[in-house]
Amino acid sequence: MKFLSKKETGTQESKPDQPEAIKTSAQKEGLMKKLVALFGGGSQATFNSRLLKLLGVAIFTAFFPLTVTLYHQPDYLSALDREAIETQQALSGDRVLASKVELFEQRLLKSAPYCIPVGILCGITFLGFTFFFFGKEFKLGTRPNFLLLGPKNNYESEDPQEAVRYQQISMSAVMIGFLGAYVWGAKNIFDRFEALDLNPDVYFNLSVRLLVVVVVALVIRHMFGSLKGRVAYILPILAFAVGMTPERSLVYVEDVVTTTFRGLERAFTPTKSLKTYDTSLDMIDGMNTSQKMRMRDAGILNSQNLAQVDIFKIFNATPFRFKSLMDWKGQALLFVYFKEDLEHLRAYSIRTVFDMVALEADKERLKTIANETKIPLIAIENFLMRTHIDPTILELKKIHKLLYPSPSVT
């Protein structure tokens, strides 16, 4: 038996593990070659580059679940209840009002679970940054695409190189707009994290924002599609601005459409119309930009909404101090009634409905204010009469008396 010769047997006995070691080493080398071929096309440098890109995609995607995990620590949860407990104690004189203030555990039971909105946001972020980092590998800018070409969809009649260039710029605008929206979203989450106001709606709204930005960035890009030369370099800046402020970009697009069809608008609009007023939250004194955005997230888009909404509903849905909400709501109620005359009243230190009610007994003072502000005295008297029958104002007067025990509000 030649294959069982003593020489061969002796070799196997002296090095029994060598074939297995060689086999394992070969498998590892083969696996590495396959990975390199998959991510780098045979180039170790390209493989390392793409591996870093994958790491970047993972980091950008993992940011959102990490914020949720850190937010639900005991220290943060206990801090959320401090303002609510203080408000309950201040309103303890009225059990019905005090019972309307919710602690964090009660709010948490009513809110949607975090897993669904965070999961959706992670999926959108993963796809967005995958295209952002690997767009060249996917050849997104070179293959004909209906959305990226826009008005140049007649690909065959166009210069192929010009069409490809147009499409690549469109792809860049979308990706830079997406990056701008992500930066805005990360900053918003940090702000809400510090304000102890990181609810599930934040992640859902950011998901919608990322999708809206893609559409708006494409529309803006096609609107400025004729830009060439150095002027075309403004598009990336414009796309990033769209990502940071898509609402204003939508307003711009709406203005352009309105201007384009102004003739039709005039044809169907009556020549006379009632005078309208700006009821935005900009009319509220003491409310900054981030607070206005938070109000909009809660569904309060203008002063009219603020005047009508239940104050406990706002308090339970936002991180604002109760006394701040009382001041803002008091301003909104006064503004809804007096409109542009509110500026004249503020000159006499009448900022809120509570300031006006405090002057109800001083008839001479009211007459002086009416004469100097040119506000009809009957309008002021009608408003004061309304404060005795309006349920919202009556409840606010009761709350104000509990928060600030004084005979000024009766």
Q: What is the mean pLDDT of residues 343-356?
A: 89
What does the block give as tokens for 340? 């542009």
- Nearest 10 degrees: Cα torsion 118, 123, 127, 129: 30
Q: What pLDDT shows up at residue 297?
A: 80
Q: How far apart are CA 166 and CA 146, in angstroms?
A: 12
Which residues have a Cβ under 8 Å from the Cβ of 120 and sit 6 or more positions away?
Answer: 203, 204, 207
Per the model's pLDDT, the better-predicted residue between 96 and 129 turns out to be 129
Q: Which residue has the tokens 């935005």?
A: 280
pLDDT-derived band of residue 255, with 50, 70 and 90 as boundaries? low
- Least confident span in 83-97, 135-149, 330-344, 375-389: 135-149
- How many secondary structure helices (H) and strands (E) does the chain include? 23, 0
Q: What pLDDT shows up at residue 4?
A: 45
User: Has residue 303 got a pLDDT over 80?
Assistant: yes
- Alpha-carbon Rg for the chain, nearest whole angstrom, is 32
- DSSP letter for each residue of 32-50: HHHHHHHHHTT-HHHHHHH
Q: How far apart are CA 71 and CA 67, in angstroms?
A: 6
Q: What is the mean pLDDT of residues 160-182?
A: 84
Q: Tell me, what amino acid is at 316?
A: N
Q: How far apart are CA 256 and CA 216, in angstroms?
A: 13
How many residues are given for the chain?
Answer: 410
Secondary structure element (H or E) that encloses residue 90, with its range: helix 82-90
Q: What pLDDT shows up at residue 12?
A: 46
User: Has residue 126 got a pLDDT over 90?
Assistant: yes
Per-position b or e across 33-62, b if 16+ CB within 10 A of its CB: eeebeebbeeeeeebeebeebeeebeebbe
Q: How far apart are CA 261 and CA 256, in angstroms?
A: 9
CB half-sphere exposure, 141, CA atoms < 13 A: 21
CA angle, residues 92, 294, 320, in degrees to nearest 5: 25
- DSSP letter for each residue of 86-131: HHHHHTTTSHHHHHTPPPHHHHHHHSPPSHHHHHHHHHHHHHHHHH
Q: What pLDDT shows up at residue 147?
A: 77
CA angle, residues 235, 58, 180, in degrees to nearest 5: 20
User: Has residue 232 got a pLDDT over 80?
Assistant: no
Could you tell me which of 115, 320, 319 has the C-alpha nearest to residue 197?
A: 319
Q: Which residues pair with 280 in a beta bridge?
A: 302
pLDDT-derived band of residue 222, with 50, 70 and 90 as boundaries? confident
Max distance between CA atoms of the chain, in angstroms, equals 129
**Neighbouring C-beta atoms of residue 379, cutoff 10 Å:** 13
CA angle, residues 45, 48, 50, in degrees to nearest 5: 110
Contact 243, 176 (CB under 8 A): yes
What does the block give as tokens for 182? 């992500």
pLDDT-derived band of residue 20, with 50, 70 and 90 as boundaries? low
Give the residue ranges of DSSP H helices in 353-407.
Answer: 353-358, 363-373, 377-386, 391-403
Contact 332, 307 (CB under 8 A): yes
Q: What pLDDT shows up at residue 102?
A: 76
- Least confident span in 214-223, 238-247, 389-398: 238-247
Q: How far apart are CA 193 and CA 248, in angstroms?
A: 25
Q: Tell me, what amino acid is at 337?
A: Y
Contact 318, 294 (CB under 8 A): yes
Mean of all residue pLDDT scores within the chain: 77
Q: Tell me, what amino acid is at 13?
A: E
Q: What is the mean pLDDT of residues 106-118?
A: 72
Most confident of 5-9, 147-151, 157-161, 379-383: 379-383
Q: Which residue has the tokens 């206990």?
A: 78
CA angle, residues 148, 153, 154, in degrees to nearest 5: 155
Q: Which residues pair with 302 in a beta bridge?
A: 280
Percent of the chain at pLDDT > 70 equals 70
pLDDT in tens, 144-164: 777 777 766 665 555 677 777
- DSSP letter for each residue of 212-234: HHHHHHHHHHHHTTT--GGGGGH
